[in-house]
Every structure is written in structure tokens, then in C-alpha cells.
Amino acid sequence: MAFLRFTILVFISTNSFVLGHELWRVCYYTSWSSQRTDGQPLLPEDIDANLCTHINFAFTTLDSSATEILTEQTYDLNLMQRLNALKTRNPALKTLISLGGWEMGSMKFHKLAASQANMNKFAQNAIDFLRAHNFDGIDLDWEYPGARGSPATDKHAFGELLMVLHNAFAAESQRSHKNKLLLTIAVATSHNRTQESYDVRMISRYCDFINMMMYDFHGSWDNKTGPHSALYSDDEYNINHTASHWEILGAQKDKLVIGVPFYGNVFTLLDPNDDDVGSASFGGGNMPYYMICQALQDGTAQEIVLNNERVPYMVQGKNWVTYDNPSSLREKVDFVKKRGYGGIMVWAIDLDDSHGACGHKYPLMNAVVDGIKQSGSVVVG
Ligand SMILES: *[C@@H]1O[C@H](CO)[C@@H](O)[C@H](O)[C@H]1NC(C)=O
Ligand SMILES: *[C@@H]1O[C@H](CO)[C@@H](O)[C@H](O)[C@H]1NC(C)=O
Ligand SMILES: *[C@@H]1O[C@H](CO)[C@@H](O)[C@H](O)[C@H]1NC(C)=O
């Protein structure tokens, strides 16, 4: 009987694994969140070490030669050390440094990928930096190859850069007998961006996984309201469509990590009485989930779920806010499992209600974790 129970448990647990690994939960952690003065700063030691399988430290940058990794803030090295100390609480946790981001722009990456010598020098420097600071890998956030000043040829150069890094990391692992350093990337996923920036087959081959930024499909720049992280929709701006598109283009599907936002996009309504999807807006910004949940809880905003898109929005006076809540995240986790993708990425762990201002701590991240662990009980039921 004991044996029987054991085999059933094994069977159940394999349902939440893809090709032998538990679905990844990749969390970005922004170093500037440690400096927040709104009552919700997040320090590395306050991150629950078991919520994420990978934590990406955002961001680092490149020096003027574009071959050397630099920290952005004077406090970053200290934060990195404290972040990596989480591995004593969860030895399976992997940490990566994230290089780039929107602010760094495209030109330094262009310079890096412009010559074999620069790429080789950078590869060595990256290995030294990661090993010296006890990281498990690097995540490249080039926004974007072939755009923002970078020429069209950088679409291919990005693939070359990943190949050089992959080969250098593999060689270092052989020499050092340490686990191979991880190589991941963050990508924007719309049709036009994909077409312009990514040789999907090549990048998929050389990186360990791909963090797909599946948000900002709509934002205040549209001048009209719309969901920013729809699972489905009638147009192309949704997760289902873009993930399928990347598969068709040759991405290895177990390397696709579906990104979800822990922030809302805010639209300022032109007329507060006209507050549907597609209503006119001017300007806006974004709002962390820890503020969204407080607006919902204190009754100043009301949540409405879009049935087709499978995400909520809320209206708070002149503000129209599109975001994800625990139940929309559960649906996204189910989608990832059903389709056999690699996991879920979140931007960013520090935007969740990490202090429990609205009740339990980390309501969004726990929804992701519970969703991933849930599959077994469905089989049992
Ligand atoms: C994509 O790019 C094409 C060509 O530049 C442009 O005509 C089209 O409007 C773009 N599509 C979207 C959805 O932005
Ligand atoms: C939104 O409005 C701004 C300011 O009027 C304008 O510059 C911009 O082109 C508009 N964007 C779109 C997508 O229509
Ligand atoms: C999901 O995307 C696929 C491929 O684009 C499409 O055929 C399918 O209808 C979409 N599903 C939904 C529910 O929209």
C-alpha cells in the first residue's frame, strides 16, 4: 500500500514537469526597488527564496568599449551579494545578471556584436564576472537588435553573439568542472519586432531559454484603452498568437518562457464616463500590483474581467488600468502547461504585494506557484 501511494505521487508530480524539469519561474528583481520610499521597498533578504527557480538581477550595463560588464549603481554589488545569499536558503535557486534593458539602448550591444574580438573579450569578461560574484548565468536584454540605432544586420549578429557566448560557456564548464553558466535572453514578441530583430531558429538554438515579454501589447501610447497582456484577442496582440508564431518560426517550445506583468498599464481617460475597452485616452503610465490591490480593496476602483482576453481591468476615477490578478495568472499557467512551454517569467517580483499590504504576502507569485503545483490534484480528483 505504501508502495502504491509512492508510485501515484511520482505519477502526479511528473505532470508539473516538462522534459524532466519543473516549470521554470523566472523572476526579475530590479535593484532600484531596494531604494523605494513608498513603503514597499524590496531588499534581497526579504525575497522568499522558494518562490522563483531563477532570479534575474536587473540591470547591469556595458563600459564604453562594450566588452566589460559594469554595475549601474554604487549599491548594486552589495545587493548582488545579498541576492546570492538566498541560495543558502534554497540551494536549487539560480541567479543571473540581466544586462541591458530599455534605458541602456541598442548601441552598446551593436558595438559588442560588431567584431569577433569584442565578442570573445566580452565572453571572457562575463565568465569572470559571473564566477567572481557567484551568479549562475547571464540574461541579455538587448532592446532591440536592428532597432533604435542598430542596423538591420544586427538581427543576425545577435545570433552570432549568442553562439560565441554559448561556446565559451560550454568550454569554461569543461575546464572548470562547474555547471555550465546559463545564457538567456529577453525578447519583445510582436510580429514586426520579431521580423526586424530576431533570427528565431538561431537564437533558440544557442540560449538556454527565452524570456518572452508578453505585456505592453497596449499602453497609453495608443491613445485609447486596451488590455496589455491578453491571453487571447481578435487581433494579433495576445499571448496565444505570438507564442504560436514563435513556434512556427522555429523556436524550441520548451525554451519559451511566457512573461507576465506584475504591474498595470494606466490610461488617463479623456472622458471618465467613457471607460470601455477602446475608449479615448491621453497619457498615463504604470502602477505596481501592490497599489492596484489596495485600490480594489479600499473600494476606490472596481474590477471588470474581459471574457475573451482573460484579463481584468479596473477604473479608478480618470484612470483606466489593465493588469493581471491571481486568477488571470492561473489561467496563463494552465496555458503554459497545456502547450508545453518552459515556464513563466515575471516582471517583476518587487511589484507584487511582497509586504502583504492587501493580505497574504506575494499574492501574484503564489498564484503562479500554486498553479504550477496544482496539476497533480486535477489528476487525483
Ligand atoms: C508592421 O510594419 C509594416 C511595415 O513597416 C507596417 O506597414 C505595419 O503597419 C506594421 N504593423 C503593425 C501592426 O505595427
Ligand atoms: C497619441 O497622441 C500623441 C499626442 O497627441 C501623438 O503624438 C501620437 O502620435 C498619438 N499616437 C497614436 C498611436 O495615435
Ligand atoms: C490561438 O492561436 C492559434 C494560432 O494562431 C489559433 O489558431 C487559435 O484560434 C487561437 N486560440 C484562441 C482561443 O484564440
Residue pLDDT, tens place only, 281-299: 999 999 999 999 999 999 9
Contact 67, 28 (CB under 8 A): no
**Residue located nearest, by CA, to atom 5 of ligand 2:** 282
**Cα 378 to middle of ligand 1, angstroms:** 43
Within 6 A (CB) of ligand 2 lie: 222-223
Of all protein residues, the one whose alpha carbon is nearest to atom 2 of ligand 2 is 223
DSSP at 179: P
Centroid of ligand 3 to alpha carbon of 198 (angstroms): 22
User: Distance of CA 44 to CAs 33, 72, 358, Å?
Assistant: 10, 17, 21
The 10 Å CB-count burial string (b at 16+, else e) for 15-42 is ebebeeeebbbbbbbbbebbeeeeebeb
pLDDT-derived band at 377, boundaries 50, 70, 90: very low
| C-alpha cell belonging to residue 300 | 476606490
Q: For residue 223, which atom of ligand 2 is closest to its CA?
A: 1
CB burial string 236-254: b at 16+ within 10 A, e below: ebbbebbbebbbeeebbeb
Nearest ligand to the CA of 240 is: 3
**Cell numbers representing residue 332 in the block:** 496563463
**For ligand 3, which residues put their CB under 6 angstroms from it?**
232, 240-241, 244
Is residue 216's pLDDT more than 80?
A: yes
pLDDT category at 374 given cuts 50, 70, 90 is confident
Average pLDDT over residues 298-303: 96
Q: Looking at the predicted structure, is the pLDDT value of residue 17 above 60?
A: no
Probe residue for ligand 2, chosen from 216, 218, 221 as the CB with the greatest number of ligand atoms within 8 Å: 221
| Catalytic (active site) residue 331 | no
pLDDT of residue 253: 97
pLDDT at 381: 23
pLDDT level of residue 22 (50, 70, 90 thresholds)? confident
SS3 assignment, position 315: strand
Give the model confidence (pLDDT) of 63-99 as tens digits. 999 999 999 999 999 999 999 999 999 999 999 999 9
pTM: 0.93
Residue closest via CA to ligand 3's atom 13 equals 232
**167-206: b (≥16 Cβ within 10 Å) or e:** ebbeebeeeeeeebbbbbbbbbbbeebbebbbbbebbbbb
- Give the β-pairing of 343-347 and 24-30: parallel
* Residue 20, pLDDT score: 58
pLDDT for residue 345 is more than 50: yes
Query: Strands 182-188 and 137-141: what pairing?
Result: parallel
Place of cell 496544482: 374
Residue 11's pLDDT is what?
Answer: 40
Task: Report the CATH number of the 18-261+325-380 domain.
Answer: 3.20.20.80
CA of 200 to the centre of ligand 3 (A): 20
- Would you place residue 7 in the very low, low, confident or very high pLDDT band (cuts 50, 70, 90)? very low
313 prior amide bond cis, ω within 30: no
Shortest-distance Cα residue to atom 3 of ligand 3: 241
- From the CA of 224, the nearest ligand is 2
**Distance from the CA of 243 to the center of ligand 1, in angstroms?**
19
Q: What is the pLDDT averaged over residues 256-263?
A: 98
The grid coordinates of residue 340 equal 508545453
Q: How far is the CA of 286 from the centre of ligand 2 (A)?
A: 18
Q: Which residue's CA is the nearest one to ligand 2's atom 8?
A: 221
CB 175 within 8 A of CB 131: no
Residue nearest to atom 2 of ligand 3 (CA): 241
Index of the ligand 3 atom closest to the CA of residue 232: 14
For residue 245, the ligand 3 atom closest to its alpha carbon is: 5
- Coil, strand or helix: which one is 340? coil
Question: d(Cα 371, Cα 250) in Å, to the nearest integer?
Answer: 28
What pLDDT was estimated at residue 129? 98
pLDDT at 16 over 80: no
- Across the range 185-195, mean pLDDT stands at 97
* Span 102-136, pLDDT tens digits: 999 999 999 999 999 999 999 999 999 999 999 99
Q: Domain residues of the chain, as ranges?
A: 18-261+325-380
Q: What is the pLDDT of residue 39?
A: 86
Residue 313 makes CB contacts below 8 A (sequence gap 6+) with 225, 227, 277, 303, 304, 306, 320, 321, 322, 323
Catalytic residue among 45, 143, 160, 196: 143
Return the residue whose CA atom lies nearest to atom 13 of ligand 2.
222
pLDDT at site 6: 40
pLDDT score of 314: 98
Alpha carbons 26 and 185: distance in angstroms, whole number: 12
Over the chain, what is the mean pLDDT?
A: 94
Instruction: In whole angstroms, give the CA distance from residue 184 to residue 140.
Output: 6
pLDDT, residue 95, reads 98
Best of 220, 223, 224, 267 for a ligand 2 pocket test (most atoms within 8 Å of beta carbon): 223
| Res 21: pLDDT | 75
Q: Reduced to 3 states, what is the DSSP secondary structure of residue 15? A: coil
Quote the ligand 2 centre to 223 CA distance (angstroms).
6
CA atoms within 13 A on the CB side of 255: 22
Q: What is the pLDDT of residue 206?
A: 98
Q: How sure is the predictor about 375, in pLDDT bands with cuts at 50, 70 and 90?
A: low
Q: Would you call 163 exposed, middle or buried from its count of C-beta atoms within 10 A (0-12, 13-18, 19+)?
A: middle
Spatial distance between the Cα atoms of 89 and 110, rounded to a whole number of angstroms: 39
- Tell me how far the alpha carbon of residue 339 lies from the centroid of ligand 2, in angstroms: 37
The angle formed by the CA atoms of residues 345, 105 and 74, to the nearest 5 degrees, is: 80
